[in-house]
Amino acid sequence: MTVNTLPNVNNDLKKIADKIYNGQRISDTDGLYLFEHGSLAFVGALANHVREQKHGDTTYFNRNFHIEPTNACIYSCHFCSYSKLYAHRDEAWELSLEQMMDIVKKYDNEPVTEVHIVGGVHPKMNLEFFAELLRNIKAHRPELHIKGFTAVELDYMFRKAKKTVLEGMQYLKDAGLESLPGGGAEIFAPEVREQICADKIDGAGWLKIHQTAHELGMQSNATMLFGHVENYEHRIDHMRQLRDLQDQTNGFNTFIPLKFRNGDNDMSHVSESSLIEDMKMYAMARIYLDNFPHIKAYWPMLGRQNAQLSLSFGVNDIDGTIDDTTKIYSMAGSEEQTPSMSTEELVVLIKQAKRRPVERGTLYNVIKDYSEIVHTDLPSLN
Ligand code: V47
Ligand code: SF4
């Protein structure tokens, strides 16, 4: 199919589509125009083309587990359910080094390749505490990739330890930190941050932390929290700043659009975005961020079926919080409470979308291609 065969497409949309089919970068104005005037089918077809050019049929997932050191947080991001907890510390938890090592040891006989460490910002958990955690994990299981700490957590740790970003990052790298997750980015525009997360690190600070990690040879992810009080211009502005930094460092692996969920937080009055908007966001990310290798759908937030759908709108990675010992059937729609999906379920989910499931390491090294593996007892996704 070429752009000229698409019905109901005006000349401006056709010009943008031509750029994309010719492998050219689109401008901010193009991006905004696509957001405002492109139908889901139109931007979806373009995003699908870009994804196919980059990855063919391959859809990645990985086997990881999460550690949340604490759910208490000194900050007060209105969209986050953690922010209420610091005032009610009795409802909050904080894990000791031993407790976190017990979580790591629980996976000793599991073929996981990554631990993802992220939580609230607790004043007692400082740089030295986390460096010790990293050293302990590496001493116990050296090959486990440690992806840890949002720029928000790092900013607090470094400032408290009176270290520069470079010094703090080098210190954690030496202790075993290998890459950074993408959290804390939200929307960079100050007028939006002011409304949703006024007291934490600003956009420039977030970008500086990731830039420093890249300059030290570490890779990282980037997120964007969308579908709350921001507009399309804010989304383009956010992605432009990421695209610019990526041009400079090439250190980002994956962009993860995070759909704002309005349960159990101070923004419950803000409606959630529609499925059409969500899919359009994935598609726009794939089209605009031409220098990002991967676009990921984080299924615990989006829901499995919508994550599956996103594979037709530019997504080529479906994360993979795996716990093969847990039976998903008992969860009955409560994905946000106990996010877990077995390898088999992830593989089925990807195959149902007619894609080739490939297990990857954190840095997208291929661990196993599941395309030829036939499951005899395929679980239903319904
Ligand atoms: O920064 C908080 C988001 C992020 C809500 O890098 C919310 O591989 C939606 O960044 N609705 C943290 N989102 C999680 C994160 C992440 C997740 C998975 C993989 C990776 C990765 C990174 O969660 C926060 C914030 O943007 N968040 N509250 C909410 N109500
Ligand atoms: Fe939640 Fe992170 Fe904000 Fe803390 S900094 S309130 S954990 S989003």
87-96, 118-127, 268-277, 319-328: which has the minimum mean pLDDT? Answer: 319-328
The Cα–Cα gap between 10 and 37 comes to 9
Residue 321 scores a pLDDT above 90: no
Q: What are the b/e assignments for 257-276, b being 16+ CB within 10 Å?
A: bbbbbeeebbbeebeebebe
Average pLDDT value for residue range 238-251 = 98
Strand partners, 294: 254
Q: What percent of the chain has pLDDT over 70?
A: 88
- Give the H or E element holding residue 249: helix 232-249
State the helix-helix crossing angle for 165-175 and 151-160, rounded to 10 degrees: 110
The Cα–Cα gap between 297 and 61 comes to 10
Residue list for the binding site for [4Fe-4S] cluster: 73, 77, 80
Among residues 360, 225, 223, the alpha carbon closest in space to that of 289 is found at 223
Residue 68 scores a pLDDT above 50: yes
Residue 86 confidence class, pLDDT cut points 50, 70, 90: low
Chain Cα centroid distance, residue 84: 23
Give the pLDDT score at 234: 98
How far, in Å, is the centroid of ligand 1 from the Cα of 46? 26
Give the pLDDT score at 301: 83
Structure tokens at 262: 């309005």
* Sign for the pseudo-dihedral over CA of 126, 321, 196, 168: positive
Sheet strands (E) in 150-270: 179-180, 219-226, 252-259
Q: Which domains does the chain have, with CATH numbers?
A: 3-52 (no CATH), 59-377 (3.20.20.70)
Which pairs with CB-CB distance under 8 Å and at least 24 residues apart come from 368-376? Answer: 373/347, 375/344, 375/347, 375/348
Structure tokens at 52: 């196919």
How far, in Å, is the centroid of ligand 1 from the Cα of 195? 18
Residue 84 confidence class, pLDDT cut points 50, 70, 90: low
For residue range 326-372, list pLDDT tens digits in order.
332 222 233 445 567 788 888 999 999 999 999 999 999 999 999 88
Instruction: Please state, in angstroms and as integers, the Cα–Cα distance from residue 304 to each residue in 188, 221, 343, following that order.
Output: 28, 21, 14
| Residue 24 DSSP symbol | P
Q: Which of 66, 68, 74, 77 to mutate to test the pocket of ligand 2 (most atoms within 8 A of CB)?
A: 77
Q: Does residue 196 line the site of ligand 1, with CB under 6 A?
A: no
Strand partners, 148: 117
Question: Minimum-distance ligand to the CA of 260?
Answer: 1
| Residue 167 DSSP symbol | H
Q: Does residue 273 line the site of ligand 1, with CB under 6 A?
A: no
Q: Does residue 75 line the site of ligand 1, with CB under 6 A?
A: no
Average pLDDT value for residue range 211-231 = 98
Chain Cα centroid distance, residue 333: 21
Average pLDDT value for residue range 171-179 = 98
Helix (H, G, I), strand (E, B) or coil at 219: strand
Residue 42 scores a pLDDT above 80: yes
Residue 8 confidence class, pLDDT cut points 50, 70, 90: low
Residue 21 scores a pLDDT above 60: yes
Average pLDDT value for residue range 225-243 = 98
8-12, 56-60, 339-343, 346-350: which has the minimum mean pLDDT? Answer: 339-343
How far, in Å, is the centroid of ligand 1 from the Cα of 277? 18
Give the pLDDT score at 169: 98
Give me the helices (H) in 64-164, please: 97-106, 127-140, 151-160
Structure tokens at 35: 């957001």
How far, in Å, is the centroid of ligand 2 from the Cα of 153? 9
Q: Does residue 189 line the site of ligand 2, with CB under 6 A?
A: no
How far, in Å, is the centroid of ligand 1 from the Cα of 240? 20
For residue range 267-301, list pLDDT tens digits in order.
999 999 999 999 999 999 999 999 999 999 998 88
Mean pLDDT rounded to a whole number for the chain: 90
Dihedral pair phi/psi, residue 301, rounded to 5°: -85, -35
Q: Which of 70, 71, 75 to mutate to test the pocket of ligand 2 (most atoms within 8 A of CB)?
A: 75
Contact of 144 with 112, CB cutoff 8 Å:
yes
For the chain, give the longest Cα–Cα distance: 62
Give the pLDDT score at 31: 98
The Cα–Cα gap between 192 and 228 comes to 10
Contact of 299 with 325, CB cutoff 8 Å:
no
- Sheet containing strand 366-369, edge to edge, reads 58-61, 356-360, 366-369
Residue 7 scores a pLDDT above 70: no
Q: Which residue's CA is the nearest one to ligand 1's atom 14?
A: 183
Strands 356-360 and 366-369: antiparallel
Q: Which residue's CA is the nearest one to ligand 2's atom 5?
A: 75
Rg (CA), the chain: 20
Residue 264 scores a pLDDT above 90: no
Contact of 312 with 293, CB cutoff 8 Å:
no
Q: Which of 78, 223, 268 to mutate to test the pocket of ligand 1 (most atoms within 8 A of CB)?
A: 223
Average pLDDT value for residue range 121-146 = 97
How far, in Å, is the centroid of ligand 2 from the Cα of 152? 8
